[in-house]
Amino acid sequence: MCGIVGYIGPQDATPIILNGLKRLEYRGYDSAGLAVLNGDRIEIRRDAGKLSRLAELVNGSPISGSPGIGHTRWATHGAPSARNAHPHLGASGRVVVVHNGIVENFLELKDELTAEGTQFNSDTDTETIVHLVEHHQAAGLDLTEAARRTFNQILGAHGIVLLSADEPDKIVCARIGNAGGVVIGLGENENFIASDIPAILEHTRKVIFLESRQMAVITKEAVRIETLEGLPVQPEVHTIAWDAVSAEKGEYRHFMQKEIHEQVRALTDTLAGRVDFNDGRIRLPELNLTPELAKRIRRIYITACGTAAYAGMVGKTLIEKIARVPVEVVIGSEFRYSDPIIDEDTVVLAISQSGETADTLAAMEEGRKKGAVLWSIVNAIGSQAMRMADGYISMQTGPEIGVASTKAFTAPLVDQYMLAILLADLRGTIDDATRRALVADLRLVPDLVSRTLNSEPEIERVALKLKDIHSCLYLGRGINMPIAYEGALKLKEISYIHAEGYPAGEMKHGPIALIDEDMPVLCLTPKDPWHEKMISQIQQAKARGGVVIAVATEGDELVEGLADHILWVPETPWMLSPVVTVIPLQILAYHIAAIRGLDVDQPRNLAKSVTVE
């Protein structure tokens, strides 16, 4: 998972691929490789380590030719190593693949292929793709049809690029869900493919963005796009302005919208290198969490501000439930004035996108002064919160530019879920079967988020209906209570509409007096352990004439019969449900603000990084 670059045309593919991958280096990776059709043979160079290592390999043993495909990988299945680095060759040596995403049904597919006698040469899920393609080719299909059949067999969200020595005039690629984009760059008698525009911007400004469940057959003269079902697609060709900002915004109107959509990829990157789905274990090396430290921790304080603090509230439920360690969440601006009870067996865990928020840093300093172990979950590499900590988890979201935080909210939810599992494992408070089941659920996350994002058009229609409201109550319970706070914060900060997040159970103690036909009530009602309680909340709001917008699990007829508007989400294991339920709330806030014509990316009075008390 990470960067993809491909080229077909009269030039040598190798330098184009190496330069393109270089431009995607900021996303991080642990191995790199490329495959080029050299005459009649596919040649591969790949290894663990940085692009400089790949360049060394290519210098030592040059390859020329076209087409070619390249990849930077962050490990999800199997350690970073030469054998696990992409591209992956099929058994015949005639087909090769690079891939971003997680093949959710990889174990089943691998078992089927192994039973047929296929030998696997890596630990990756990606290798199943190339073997499946060869399997269909052996049955008489050409590359395009064999690829189509394969794309329809694999579950999850993916960007995939394939080439075959037997059909040297083409590259076949696909996008399934939102595991990072697939961008096709149009040249004169040559064409380019990449996961992100910066990789190919030096060659062309004319691009086509593949939509989910579309595939493309690319020759040097032409690009043919079809759905995975085989229907032809007339693509829109976008012209990208030369300035870096427009290039970065790509097909989206605002950075916030782009960043909402980037969450599939950000979450796939979050898992990469940390989760080993083969042995069901979590690895967070930068956290420096030894078994000895894990066993002596008696309390964790999570400290953060705004959106990051709401992420911490979800983390409290996860860590207490999975690792059985008491957790308190204290907002950064209060921490140092609250005289927290800290000793050397206390952890202070700071969460911060920027890593420079003054109140969060002051809380960390307080923790340091009192002898706590300091951890941070941070997005900005090298920031103060990362440098100060004894151990950290770096959010793998890439830069977040929109002032309203989105992808830097969902990433720490998954980071804390992983942290809770690791802590439980090292403390011996979790049995093997539970650990494996919790880890296996992580594999579903990118696709669940991707499917939720597909509802954007329906959510936009709800936004149109709500665009003129003056106020809104957001209600949630249990693990989704902080999502009510976060949803309300998203709405107020970018649309300037008053919104309040509230624990649903507290309604009857006061706020219920506010409900009438002018006060819409948004209820977080996924199928989690608090579902029934939330149903009765909806009934109470309806009884008082309130307009109810519900976030509900697909197929929930009970909620469908009660609510005025529904934002559907797919069924999700409850401990991961906040990662999914927050998505429609981000999209709803975004569209209400965009419809009102507001400056979504830079709302008034707000700064991306709050470096003053």
**Catalytic positions, written as ranges:** 2, 608
Comparing CB distances to ligand F6R, the nearer of 438 and 594 is 594
Q: Which residues of this chain interact with ligand F6R, rule CB under 6 A?
A: 305-308, 352-354, 357, 360, 404-405, 489, 493, 609-610
Contact (Cβ atoms closer than 8 angstroms) between residue 1 and residue 164: no
- The set of residues, in sequence order, having a beta carbon less than 8 Å from that of 417 and lying 6+ positions away, is 318, 322, 438, 442, 575, 576
* Minimum CB distance to ligand F6R, residue 349 (Å): 13
| Residue pointed to by tokens 């990606």 | 126
Cα atoms in the 13 Å half-sphere on the side-chain side of 497: 30
Comparing CB distances to ligand F6R, the nearer of 308 and 349 is 308
Cα atoms in the 13 Å half-sphere on the side-chain side of 261: 18
* CA-based R_g, the chain, Å: 25
Task: Report d(CA 483, CA 438) in Å as an integer.
Answer: 21
Comparing CB distances to ligand F6R, the nearer of 134 and 400 is 400
* Minimum CB distance to ligand F6R, residue 493 (Å): 6
* Minimum CB distance to ligand F6R, residue 400 (Å): 8
Contact (Cβ atoms closer than 8 angstroms) between residue 534 and residue 516: no
Comparing CB distances to ligand F6R, the nearer of 55 and 358 is 358
Judged on CB neighbours under 10 Å (0-12, 13-18, 19+), 100 is buried
| Residue pointed to by tokens 């395009």 | 144
Comparing CB distances to ligand F6R, the nearer of 273 and 312 is 312
Complete edge-to-edge strand list for the sheet that includes strand 498-503 = 498-503, 471-476, 521-525, 548-553, 565-569
User: Which residues face 378 on adjacent strands?
Assistant: 352, 394
Task: Report d(CA 190, CA 251) in Å as an integer.
Answer: 22
Give the nearest residue (CB) to ligand F6R.
306
Amino acid at 324: R
Residue among 192, 182, 202, 138 at smallest CA distance from 164: 138
* Minimum CB distance to ligand F6R, residue 78 (Å): 33
* Minimum CB distance to ligand F6R, residue 3 (Å): 26
DSSP reduced 3-state for 44: strand
Cα atoms in the 13 Å half-sphere on the side-chain side of 96: 30
Which residue intervals of 166-301 are DSSP H helices? 244-249, 255-261, 263-271, 291-296
* Minimum CB distance to ligand F6R, residue 485 (Å): 11
Comparing CB distances to ligand F6R, the nearer of 270 and 354 is 354
Comparing CB distances to ligand F6R, the nearer of 95 and 380 is 380
Task: Report d(CA 493, CA 490) in Å as an integer.
Answer: 6
Comparing CB distances to ligand F6R, the nearer of 111 and 613 is 613
| Residue pointed to by tokens 């809104």 | 472
DSSP reduced 3-state for 550: strand
Cα atoms in the 13 Å half-sphere on the side-chain side of 580: 31
370 to 202, 340, 613: CA distances (angstroms): 52, 9, 21
Comparing CB distances to ligand F6R, the nearer of 228 and 362 is 362
* Minimum CB distance to ligand F6R, residue 311 (Å): 8
Structural element, H or E, at residue 590: helix 577-595
Task: Report d(CA 343, CA 362) in Å as an integer.
Answer: 17
Task: Report d(CA 373, CA 293) in Å as an integer.
Answer: 9
Q: 573 preceded by cis ω (within 30°)?
A: no
Residue among 543, 566, 540 at smallest CA distance from 555: 566
* Minimum CB distance to ligand F6R, residue 100 (Å): 26
* Minimum CB distance to ligand F6R, residue 360 (Å): 5
* Minimum CB distance to ligand F6R, residue 593 (Å): 12
Cα atoms in the 13 Å half-sphere on the side-chain side of 366: 25
- What is the maximal distance between C-alpha atoms in the chain? 77
Comparing CB distances to ligand F6R, the nearer of 24 and 305 is 305
* Minimum CB distance to ligand F6R, residue 358 (Å): 9
Amino acid at 234: Q
Comparing CB distances to ligand F6R, the nearer of 305 and 466 is 305
- The set of residues, in sequence order, having a beta carbon less than 8 Å from that of 263 and lying 6+ positions away, is 178, 406, 407, 410, 449, 453, 583
